[in-house]
């Protein structure tokens, strides 16, 4: 299969990724709306990972609603800026969305349990840093270059010292 990474065995992801997922300045990409959406993604995935039998459906719905909005915003930015890697990026979004929609559908029908919901949270938490680092960082740089003529400037706090550290993302 040519797209092995997209069809990997479900057991290949980090089962504990959701526990370690935490928003921090290292995740900033320099495009404010993207950074805000990513912060919200971390929040809804953490809530999904911590859900219980009473809150699971609401948390799944929150993840679905967030992804629909987040991915649509990114699609609009790609269209508006003639983003050259749009098809690949949107294809990955669709695969993630299809999985979330299916788990949500099955959960509403009472066909998945809490363990399955937590595995989805872990899979999303495992997928997200790689997606953000490779695909979303390239999109953020593209948007900034198209709109402002240069690369984003990102100010990150040094987590250990609290000192602001400037880095330029190219």
pLDDT given at position 153: 67
Query: Which whole number is the average pLDDT over 14-31?
Result: 87
Q: HSE on the CB side for 78, CA within 13 Å?
A: 21
Place of tokens 């993604």: 41
Angle CA(13)–CA(18)–CA(19) in degrees, nearest 5? 120
Q: 65-92, pLDDT tens digit by residue?
A: 999 999 999 999 999 999 999 999 999 9
Distance CA 57, CA 42 (A): 18
Structure tokens at 117: 């919901």
* CATH architecture, range 4-168: Up-down Bundle (1.20)
Residue 154: pLDDT over 80: no
Average pLDDT, the chain: 85
Place of tokens 């250990």: 160
Place of tokens 């320099």: 30
pTM: 0.82
**Directed axis angle between helix 56-80 and helix 137-148, to 10°?**
40
Structure tokens at 46: 């953490």
Query: Which whole number is the average pLDDT over 136-149?
Result: 89
Place of tokens 């050259």: 84
Its sign, for the CA torsion 30, 35, 38, 42, is positive
Residue 158 pLDDT grade (very low, low, confident, very high; cuts 50, 70, 90): low
pLDDT given at position 160: 53
Q: HSE on the CB side for 166, CA within 13 Å?
A: 3
pLDDT given at position 7: 37
Inter-residue contact 18 to 45 (CB < 8 Å) = yes
Q: 28-47, pLDDT tens digit by residue?
A: 998 899 999 999 999 999 99
């Amino acid at each position: 299969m040519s797209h092995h990474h997209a069809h990997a065995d479900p057991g290949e992801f980090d089962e504990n990724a959701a526990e370690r997922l935490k928003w921090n300045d290292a995740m900033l990409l320099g495009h404010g709306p993207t950074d805000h959406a990513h912060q919200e993604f971390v929040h809804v995935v953490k809530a999904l990972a911590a859900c219980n039998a009473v809150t699971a459906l609401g948390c799944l719905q929150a993840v679905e609603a967030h992804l629909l909005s987040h991915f649509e915003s990114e699609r609009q930015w790609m269209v508006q800026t003639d983003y050259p890697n749009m098809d690949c990026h949107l294809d990955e979004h669709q695969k993630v969305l299809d999985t979330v929609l299916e788990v949500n559908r099955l959960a509403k029908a009472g066909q998945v349990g809490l363990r399955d919901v937590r595995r989805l949270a872990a899979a999303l938490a495992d997928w997200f840093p790689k997606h953000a680092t490779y695909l979303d960082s390239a999109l953020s740089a593209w948007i900034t270059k198209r709109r402002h003529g240069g690369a984003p400037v990102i100010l990150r706090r040094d987590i250990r010292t609290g000192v602001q550290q400037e880095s330029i993302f190219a």
